Structure 1
Amino acid sequence: MNSHDAPERITVLGATGSVGQNTLDLIARMPERFAVEAVTANSNVDALADIAIRFDARFAAVADPACYEPLKAALSGTGVEAAAGPGALVEAALRPADRIMAAIVGAAGLAPTLAAAERGATILLANKECLVTAGPLFMRTAKAGGARVLPVDSEHSAIFQALDPALSRCVERVTLTASGGPFRTWSMERLAAVTPQEAVRHPNWSMGAKISVDSATLMNKGLELIEAHHLFDIESERLDVLVHPESIIHGFVAYQDGSVVAQMAEPDMRTPIAYSLAWPERIPAPTARLDLAALGRLTFEAPDSQRFPALRLTRYALETGGGTATVLNAANEIAVASFLTKRIGFPDIAKIVENGLDRSATERVGEPYSLDDALALDEWARDVALSMIPERLEQVS
């Protein structure tokens, strides 16, 4: 733990996304506590350069090699080193930072986050794909490298706070809550006509387009079940999802004596981010304070797997094991991207994912044991999913 005689240095992988922006907001409020080592983005040169200059970062990298010259020009004379390409993201992860916020969306975040795990960094994990695409590999790598993995998702942060490691054998059930998304009460007929604009309007959280669609399908919650399995070494039978529209209770742990320990907060990502930045301490966060009297009541309901089959699909992937979750994630990314560009309809997202899982069962795909294995399986699953898109075009055009 840093003694705070000098600021802790933080690297933000995915600095221009919503988690990255919220992380930087907290860092900016405590310059005596935190400083920025490196920042990365996919291709948003202007935003990344502005961040690097404002936070006096030492290194800035974009994933897109074509963006190198514009980034270099934008940072000319600032003292910030510029780099580009997938290797540059790994280089950012290897910089001497005390903590690394792993917030790159998608499989692109796998290589740099694995590199951080190998060097034994403290990883603030907001990238789902590390655990969904290569969970066993990532956790083995983190353990071998002596890395500490602190969950950033609000639900996993809640479980991290409620779960006493000394009492793990006494846990009966770990439950993640879900808002239910914007279509919680919609009929199957209405779901068939959902537009991308409707799907990205989450009722409680401000998030990027992809994760907002995942929330609307409940795929996001299913992926979180897989993450929780790896993070907390909890088998599928003891993992559950409960729809909680107010998003005040983010997760809870039920123990064998009948006790239930829950974590509560207003829905603001800066709360779990602040917890991961300061753990095992706590720092102030500029979030609304919870007023239960004003809320009046909290409501809960079971998820509907018929209208939202993503939970069933992710549960299947979790219980099947091998490379099934890798296929699920890749197929979902392709399907969501196709939906956002209006190439397929909202219900087709789950259909494409299910077809991808059927193919993986036929092909008997195995567990990825290396980064190359994971990336190769990810690419195969994307190709499989892409091959299904034209079959859907006539149905949604």
Structure 2
Amino acid sequence: MKQLAILGSTGSIGRQALQVLDDFPDDIQLMALAAGNNKQLLLEQVKKYKPLLVSLQKEDDALWLRQQLDGRQKIEIHYGLEGLLAVAAFSGADTVLTAISGAVGLLPTVEAIKAGKNIALANKETLVAAGELVMRMAGEYGVTILPVDSEHSAIWQCINGEDRHNVARILLTASGGPFRNYKPDQMAGITPSRALNHPNWQMGAKITVDSATLMNKGLEVIEARWLFDVAYDNIKVVIHPQSIIHSMVEYIDGSVLAQMGVPDMRLPIQYALFYPRRLAGGAPRLQWPIGNLTFEEPDIARFPSLELAFQAGRVGKTMPAVLNAANEVAVHAFLAGKVEFTAIPKLVAKVMEGHSPVTFASLEDILEADRWARRRVEEIIIQ
């Protein structure tokens, strides 16, 4: 039986992972949970799954949780970064699902690797900011990185059993988001509520906005480069509005392998958690016939975030960390009503232009670039 710790149990991926656990209770045991501010939902999860260790973001919430349990359940309760690290390195778990959104997932992922845990990776920002470092550490500690993003899970499934030297290129599919058919003059005045109305997927706020700007796909390009050791020139993004084909791999003989399935994150979560086994049940199946499957080129003029990610990836060094941090702050500013939707890529581009990338020698170098980018976005916004 697999012993699992989840970082981000009250978020979209975390909740769906627990649904997978419900479907296969005899195959996986929940050992530890980390949540953000949703203390009520975490309390419900603790009562149902009875983990041995949990963490919340705030100390007051951790104290509240202790009071609610009132000694009725033997459990360690932590908070803050220390709590995240405790869950990530918990000795009772052999696999850690990193389902936290943003660069905050980097440190606990590194901690889990150092503790010898296999990583079910749903936090793409970890590899965006520090892909070279993280993948090298995974090799040094004998840890397996199991991709959870639907696109990377699809690529993983398409290359299993194949000679990697025969891969010509990776074809990352993207839904195109809610504004795929908008004309340039329609992009002004987009509200957060409209940006959060994704046509195919149920996701958290930040990743949903990233999908609307196509930055999410750009981040996935950088993630794919490190997961599969493929050059940026051999990664192509294709708009596929139906989200049925989750990504493809083209081989040197011209063959293209595609992984298909319903747009339901339980499927890639289940594949990552139980690999190399495939278990019957769980996520729903495609209903045949499935209708038309269409493909388009991404419009870089309307969605410049995708090109910014390619640029950052090709520059390398600390530039991807700066791209990621600047985008996080810009997205949260948009959700807070401080900037327009169209300002997000403009802010990211301006911060990138002002950054002199350096070769990082340590995790601290990456974190310093991250902090610099966040400060710079805030400075630009208030100017």
Which residue of structure 2 lines up, in the alignment, with residue 111 of structure 1?
107
- Unpaired segments ≥5 residues, structure 1: 1-6, 392-397
Which residue of structure 1 lines up, in the alignment, with residue 80 of structure 2?
85
- Range with bigger deviation, 214-223 or 46-55: 46-55
TM-fit CA distance, 1:376: 1.7
Which residue of structure 1 lines up, in the alignment, with residue 46 of structure 2?
52
- Unpaired segments ≥5 residues, structure 2: none
SS class of match (1:296)? coil
TM-score normalised by length of structure 1: 0.94
Please tell me whether residue 375 in structure 1 is matched to residue 367 in structure 2.
yes
Which residue of structure 2 lines up, in the alignment, with residue 206 of structure 1?
202
SS class of match (1:134)? helix
SS class of match (1:133)? helix
Distance in 1, Cα, partners of 2:376 & 2:156? 36
Q: Of 285, 309, 313, which residue of structure 2 is paired with 1:318?
A: 313
Contact 1:305 1:311 in 2 (8 A): yes
Please tell me whether residue 353 in structure 1 is matched to residue 354 in structure 2.
no
Q: Of 186, 190, 196, which residue of structure 2 is paired with 1:194?
A: 190
Inter-CA distance 275–164: structure 2 relative to 1 (3 Å threshold): closer
TM-fit CA distance, 1:65: 3.2
Please tell me whether residue 11 in structure 1 is matched to residue 16 in structure 2.
no
TM-fit CA distance, 1:312: 0.7
Which residue of structure 2 lines up, in the alignment, with residue 302 of structure 1?
297
Distance in 2, Cα, partners of 1:69 & 1:48? 13
SS class of match (2:299)? coil
Please tell me whether residue 162 in structure 1 is matched to residue 154 in structure 2.
no
SS class of match (1:251)? strand
TM-fit CA distance, 1:166: 4.5
Show structure 1 runs of 4+ deviating over 3 A.
Answer: none
Distance in 2, Cα, partners of 1:75 & 1:81? 11
TM-superposition CA deviations, 1:148-187 (whole Å, max 9, x none): 0000000000000001465111111101100000000001
Which residue of structure 2 lines up, in the alignment, with residue 329 of structure 1?
324
Contact 2:23 2:282 in 1 (8 A): no
TM-fit CA distance, 1:288: 2.7
TM-superposition CA deviations, 1:324-380 (whole Å, max 9, x none): 0000000000000010011110110000000011011xxx23143323222221111
Distance in 1, Cα, partners of 2:124 & 2:197? 21
Aligned residue runs from structure 1 range 14-163, under 5 A: 14-77=8-71, 78-95=73-90, 96-163=92-159
TM-score normalised by length of structure 2: 0.97
Contact 1:270 1:285 in 2 (8 A): no
Distance in 2, Cα, partners of 1:45 & 1:266? 31
Instruction: Look up the equivalent residue of 1:22 and give its one-letter code.
Output: Q
Give the root-mean-square deviation of aligned CA atoms: 1.2
Contact 1:15 1:39 in 2 (8 A): yes
TM-fit CA distance, 1:120: 2.1
Contact 2:128 2:219 in 1 (8 A): yes
Distance in 2, Cα, partners of 1:375 & 1:63? 20
Distance in 2, Cα, partners of 1:87 & 1:134? 21
How many corresponding residue pairs? 381
Q: Of 174, 178, 181, which residue of structure 1 is paired with 2:174?
A: 178
Instruction: Look up the equivalent residue of 2:113 and give its one-letter code.
Output: A
